Structure 1
Amino acid sequence: MYLEHLSLTDFRSYAQVDLALGPGTTVLVGSNGLGKTNLVEAVGYLSTLSSHRVSSDAPLLRFGTERAMIRAKLVRGEQSVMLEVELNAGRANRARINRANPVRSRDILGICRTVLFAPEDLALVKGDPSNRRRFLDELLVTLMPRHAATRSDYERVLKQRNALLKSAKSQHYSRSGVNEGHLATLDVWDAHMAAAGAQLLAARLELLEKLMPKLATAYGQLTDGSKELQAIYRSTLEEPLPDDDESAPHAGGPAAGLGALYGLGIPELTERYIEAFAASRRREVERGLSLVGPHRDELELILGQAPARGYASHGETWSVALSLRLASYYVLLEDAAIEGNAPILILDDVFAELDVQRRSKLAAIVSSAEQVLVTAAVEADIPAELRGAQIRVIPGGVVPVAEPGTVVAGDSTPVDGMPAGAVVEEPLDEPGHGH
């Protein structure tokens, strides 16, 4: 798969920009702050419906605007597909596939597959467990888009159950105590959350069986092999947290993990959750939040004999973060059942952060991908293996380096009050379609 054309309207810093691309490597070069990352961020958004830089869509809309558009033409083998996503302020986003009627934005998941490397990836190693859970769930949805609903259902039930626990907490510390109505309702939500949690946990475990061998391989390719990288999924079903501090370590050493949970079906996992909720009810009511469930689980990264978080050097941390992304790429590549469905690799300002050895090893690994998009502030940061087509990013637009003086649609020159290259199109506002 490769991206042939990208068009942005009111996305981040761009009023309008159009970018022609092709297979192989394309390097986007420009000074910091001109919008290189904004371009690849839009491509990544098509894959995950989220940004690798911010947690909400609001910053993606150009300041002062109410909507932004991302349009892309993808080539998959002998076929091409047009994707359009409209990001809206204060209402549901919309999407279209091949200019058909608008659909829910999540209906496009799985069409554009990307793996994005960025400086923010250090948080996958150094950050709290939510970063690693998000990594797992985004890869899960990219690989199996149906699990977008699994994830959404669990988050909805969790929100409802937490609201009930918060209410029960206030009753617990009042004179009346927790009333029977709260307890009966909590039993109902326990059942809902157990079912939704079992679905999400089973999906994560299925993904991890594919990911873990690839992770060890990727780390070996990026380093001298003196240390082994492994990942251990720690579930609150087996290792409940001692308090409501998510950063607290789980019990057990490097050998602990999910041995007893792998292979269990969804009915068995559901029953385990119901039992765990019952055992944790007093603590959950006291704290007013759910302490057991996939939202509290951890993917612990072990480098050698020690946790990578807190023990890995800066260089090792980078190698672990890169290995997680490379392992994702290998999983998606293995899953590419049809020719031309390989994921697009995006390396956003990564090489400036790496030493010469890691630059060279990473470049050698990714150079054979069908399409690689690289951003850099300095051309010298790009390894020789990735010196492909080059596009210079300028204020408000882009210029192909191969054709100096030819400005691609999207420069900041106004024409009749509109930016050059602007595409005028009605918003995707047909009724009956939600986010």
Structure 2
Amino acid sequence: MFIRSLTLHDFRSWTDVTVDLRPEPTIFVGRNGFGKTNLLEAIGYLTTLRSHRVSTDAPLLRAGTDSAKIAATVENSGRELTVEVTLSADRANRATINGSPQRRTRDILGVLRSVLFAPEDLALVRGEPGERRRFLDELVATRGPRWAAARADYDKVLRQRSALLKTASASLRRGGSDAASVLSTLDVWDAQLAEHGAMVTAARIELVAQLAPHVIGAYAAIAPASRPADLRYHSSIDDSLGTPMTAVDSAPVDSVAVDSVAASVDDIAAMMLERLKAVRDKEIERGMSLVGPHRDDLELILGDQPAKGFASHGESWSLALSLRLGSVELLRAEGTEPVVLLDDVFAELDAARRAKLVEFTDDVEQVLITAAVGEDIPAGLRGRRLAVDVDESGGSRHSVLTDIGTQVA
């Protein structure tokens, strides 16, 4: 898989740009703040429908505009598809595939698969559980709209249930019909939270089981003198959910037999309902939802210790890098060669880890790289270079791209 062309309109610092790309390394060189990362961010957005830098879409729109567009023509095994997303400030985002409107933006998921390496990846090891949940959910989303829909439905129910819990205590103190109404409504939300939460949990557990061997192998190659790495999914529903409940080998989730996935989801939903029942009084007292995938974590382990708090800086970087390398290998095992995005990571790595990353990219079909200065790129990494600069003429500051002296944006 590779991107043949990328087009941005009013996205971040870019007014209008079309970049023609080839299945080879392409290096974008420019000072910090000039807009090179925005190019990779746009590709990442088409992959996951999320930015890796911000939690909302508003900052992605160029200042003073009310919409932005990202489009990419993707070639995969000889088949070309053009996917486009329009981000809007005051209405729902819209998406098309080959010009045909899609009913939901998430219907484009899976058209473009990419894996982004960025300096922010250190937070996967040293940051809060939300960073690791986000990592898992973004990787699950590349498997198709069905699994992204489960997370969106779960988030919607969670918000509504949490809002009810904030007022439940006062209603129960009043008693009578108010108390009865709260309890019956909470029963309804519990059932829906368990239904959607079980789908999210099952997909994550399955993913971790399939991803772990690739991450463990990558870490052993990057840091051979370090302690062995391991991954474990920690569920707030039940500690026994750290391993998949059905044997699915390394097949992608969408190809797993429906009966086996359904049985696993049903079991998890039943366990979650029991857990919700057990903690209901505590949830009402605290006014918040205490059980579900929004409270789970991906445990990263080195030897017999958690990586967070015990890993050195070098070990943390090696483990973060291994999570991304493992993601690439997992997608390859599923039959897709993802586009690899390296956002200014060489400046963060020592010589040994740089060399390992260069070695890894040797057989990648397409790798897109950003660097603040050309010297950050290891000598052994060859590829087309494009200069990213800014134009402040006309009273407007925007990014421009130059290829061998020819301005193309």
Please, what TM-score do these two structures have when normalized by structure 2? 0.90
| 2:271 is aligned with 1:275 | no
1:370 to 350, 353, 365: 365
| 2:336 is aligned with 1:352 | no
| 2:203 is aligned with 1:203 | yes
Give deviations 1:174-214, integer Å, cap 9, x for gaps.
Answer: 45497122112111211111111111111111111111111
Q: AA paired with 1:307?
A: P
Distance in 2 between residues matched to 1:378 and 1:329, nearest whole Å: 26
Q: AA paired with 1:33?
A: G
Q: Is the 8 A contact 2:215 2:325 kept in 1?
A: yes
Determine the structure 2 residue equivalent to 1:284: 283
Q: Which has the higher contact order (CA 8 A, sep 6+)?
A: 1
Distance in 2 between residues matched to 1:133 and 1:113, nearest whole Å: 19
Deviates more, 1:49-58 or 1:386-395: 386-395
Aligned partner of residue 53 in structure 2, secondary structure: coil
Aligned partner of residue 131 in structure 1, secondary structure: helix
Q: AA paired with 1:26?
A: T
Determine the structure 1 residue equivalent to 2:150: 150
Q: Is the 8 A contact 2:133 2:296 kept in 1?
A: yes
Aligned partner of residue 363 in structure 2, secondary structure: coil
Per-residue deviation, 1:225: 4.1
Per-residue deviation, 1:385: 3.3
Distance in 2 between residues matched to 1:345 and 1:123, nearest whole Å: 20
Distance in 2 between residues matched to 1:222 and 1:359, nearest whole Å: 10
Aligned partner of residue 193 in structure 2, secondary structure: helix
Q: Is the 8 A contact 2:233 2:243 kept in 1?
A: no
Q: AA paired with 2:109?
A: L
Q: AA paired with 1:399?
A: T
For structure 2, list consecutive stretches of 5 or more residues without a partner in the other structure.
Answer: 248-262, 391-398
Q: Is the 8 A contact 2:231 2:298 kept in 1?
A: yes
| 2:64 is aligned with 1:61 | no
Q: AA paired with 2:234?
A: R
Aligned residues: 385
Determine the structure 2 residue equivalent to 1:309: 308
For 1:19-418, what aligned pairs fall within 5 Å after superposition? Answer: 19-172=19-172, 174=173, 176=175, 179-239=179-239, 258=242, 265-336=264-335, 341-395=336-390, 396-400=399-403, 403=404, 405-408=405-408, 410=409
Q: AA paired with 2:373?
A: V
Q: Percent identity?
A: 51
Aligned partner of residue 352 in structure 1, secondary structure: helix
Looking at secondary structure, tell me which structure has more helix per residue: 2
Q: Is the 8 A contact 1:25 1:367 kept in 2?
A: no
Distance in 1 between residues matched to 2:358 and 2:170, nearest whole Å: 56
Distance in 2 between residues matched to 1:193 and 1:332, nearest whole Å: 29
Q: Is the 8 A contact 1:4 1:21 kept in 2?
A: yes
Per-residue deviation, 1:227: 1.1
Distance in 2 between residues matched to 1:238 and 1:262, nearest whole Å: 16
Q: Is the 8 A contact 1:232 1:301 kept in 2?
A: yes
Per-residue deviation, 1:259: 5.1
Give deviations 1:247-303, integer Å, cap 9, x for gaps.
Answer: xxxxxxxxx872595667222211111110111011000011110111101111111
Quote the RMSD (CA, aligned, Å): 1.7
Give deviations 1:160-182, integer Å, cap 9, x for gaps.
Answer: 2111211202334x454971221
Distance in 1 between residues matched to 2:186 and 2:102, nearest whole Å: 38
Q: Is the 8 A contact 2:386 2:401 kept in 1?
A: yes
For structure 1, list consecutive stretches of 5 or more residues without a partner in the other structure.
Answer: 240-255, 411-435
Distance in 2 between residues matched to 1:44 and 1:236, nearest whole Å: 29
Distance in 2 between residues matched to 1:348 and 1:300, nearest whole Å: 25
Distance in 2 between residues matched to 1:127 and 1:226, nearest whole Å: 21
Q: Is the 8 A contact 2:236 2:295 kept in 1?
A: yes
Determine the structure 2 residue equivalent to 1:243: none
Distance in 2 between residues matched to 1:36 and 1:159, nearest whole Å: 36
Q: Is the 8 A contact 1:205 1:262 kept in 2?
A: no
Distance in 1 between residues matched to 2:10 and 2:152, nearest whole Å: 28
Residues 1:7 and 1:305: Cα distance change in structure 2 (over 3 Å): same
Q: AA paired with 1:68?
A: A
Distance in 1 between residues matched to 2:317 and 2:201, nearest whole Å: 28
Moved over 3 A (4+): 174-178, 259-264
Distance in 1 between residues matched to 2:166 and 2:194, nearest whole Å: 19
Q: Is the 8 A contact 2:118 2:342 kept in 1?
A: yes
Give deviations 1:46-67, integer Å, cap 9, x for gaps.
Answer: 1001111111100000001000
Q: Is the 8 A contact 1:6 1:70 kept in 2?
A: yes
Distance in 2 between residues matched to 1:344 and 1:123, nearest whole Å: 22
Q: Is the 8 A contact 2:157 2:193 kept in 1?
A: yes
Give deviations 1:72-117, integer Å, cap 9, x for gaps.
Answer: 1111121211111111002101111111235421111000000000
Deviates more, 1:99-108 or 1:360-369: 99-108
Distance in 1 between residues matched to 2:245 and 2:79, nearest whole Å: 41
Aligned partner of residue 224 in structure 1, secondary structure: coil
